[in-house]
Amino acid sequence: MKVKSIVVAVLLILGVTACEKKEIDPPSIKFSNEMEQSLIKVNLDIQEESSTLKAAGVDNWWESINESLVEHGIQLEKMETLGAEQHQGITIIFKDMGNKKLSSDFVPNDSRNGTGIDVPYIIDGTELGTTSGMTEVDTYNAIVNAMNTWDNNKCSSGLDIPLWGLIPFDVGFVQYLEGFGGYAGYLAGGITHGGILPAVFFDAIGGPGGGTSILGVTFTFIWTSDGVPTDINNDGKNDVAFREVYINDGFNWQDAPDDVLFNGIYDFETVVLHEVGHGLSQGHFGKAFITKNGMLHFAPAALMNSAYSVARREITQTDLAGHCSIWADWPNN
């Protein structure tokens, strides 16, 4: 596996459509040699991609991709989506080995990624604006706030989720595989915020209607040996190689923390917070039901429900219980 080390600029000035240009000013981070960004490059020929493979359906398309990834020691395990109002999100399992190990976690001090006991994240700095008017500054701040909300939980004090960089070029491995730009490589051991992409990308990953029903998506890739998932720390779970988050630009995104009665807008930070929950190994939960007025409800109402209902920037007790069960003993899992 060829590793290409890329030193990422910490400060990136982005032009904002406004009266004057603004600067995104990430936290002051100085990279040591040990923390230097390393994106693992995958030499993968996807020339035969879309017209033939995608026509066969999402599952067949990804089955073919997974076959080509065997020699690189990774496989796409699952895709978890958050549904727009009245559309339930779904989880699609791509790598079911019949061993009942459908959950997966990062491994502390995993030598395959070199991130130690941290779960770092990077942000694609080239695809941050929305067509609904949120600037690059707005969405950047929302992503950082969401990451910090999870990072500040007291029950997971052994876990650090540092920002490793605002990337000045287009990243996103799934994006690359689907033919929407991106990068033929990935951040091992971490979470990549791959960008705010057009609705057609979500049609490509979710089939017809994906662009109008999927708000956000998180992809989980796992480490494998000869195509078989690994479990090097013997915790009964597949070893996560990396995760990627994408947001659908086909919706009316706003900075709307007080959106407690849905009125056609979506609070961007709420959706990122949900997707990062997937990035930190939580799945959907909550029983869904539709009332006589046609509205979708969940019991209990929580951040990790499978559909958007209202702005929710705090982690509920139900969400927290799930998070703590995964991370309370980290890194001694």
Q: pLDDT digits over 299-328, tens only?
A: 678 899 888 988 999 898 888 999 999 999
Taking only Cα atoms into account, the Rg of the chain, rounded to an integer number of angstroms, comes to 19
CA dist 174 and 181 (Å) reads 9
CA dist 218 and 87 (Å) reads 17
Average pLDDT over residues 174-186: 91
Of 74, 185, 81, 211, the closest CA to residue 124 belongs to 185
- Whether 27 shows a pLDDT value over 50: the answer reads no
Lowest-pLDDT range, 20-24, 103-107, 215-219? 20-24
Express each pLDDT in 256-291 by its tens digit: 988 766 678 999 999 999 999 999 999 988 766 666
* Whole-Å CA distances, 297 to 86, 308, 322: 9, 10, 20
Q: Between helices 136-151 and 268-279, what is the axis angle to 10°?
A: 40
Average pLDDT over residues 174-200: 94
pTM of the shown model: 0.86
The backbone torsions φ and ψ at residue 210, rounded to the nearest 5 degrees and listed phi first, read -60, -35
pLDDT, mean over the chain: 82
CA dist 249 and 54 (Å) reads 22
Share of the chain above pLDDT 90, in %: 56
Structure tokens at 175: 């994006």
Q: In sequence order, what DSSP letters do the residues of 173-220 get, joined into one string?
A: HHHHHTTSS--SEEETTSEEEEEEE-HHHHHHHH-TTHHHHEEEEEEE
- Amino acid 16: pLDDT: 30
- Amino acid 261: pLDDT: 64
Average pLDDT over residues 52-81: 80
Helices (H), ranges, the chain? 50-53, 58-69, 136-151, 173-177, 199-206, 210-213, 268-279, 317-327
Domains, the chain, in order of start with CATH, read 3-327 (3.40.390.10)
CA dist 67 and 177 (Å) reads 13
Q: In sequence order, what DSSP letters do the residues of 211-237 get, joined into one string?
A: HHHEEEEEEEEEEEETTEEP-TT-SSS
Asked if residues 240 and 253 have their Cβ atoms less than 8 Å apart, the reply is no
Q: DSSP state, 72?
A: G
Q: What residue has token string 């705010």?
A: 196
- Whether 22 shows a pLDDT value over 50: the answer reads no
CA dist 70 and 58 (Å) reads 18
- Amino acid 291: pLDDT: 65
Asked if residues 150 and 144 have their Cβ atoms less than 8 Å apart, the reply is no
Instruction: Name the CA dihedral angle for 215, 219, 220, 223, rounded to a multiple of 10 degrees.
Output: -170
Q: Of 55 and 253, which is predicted with more confidence?
A: 253
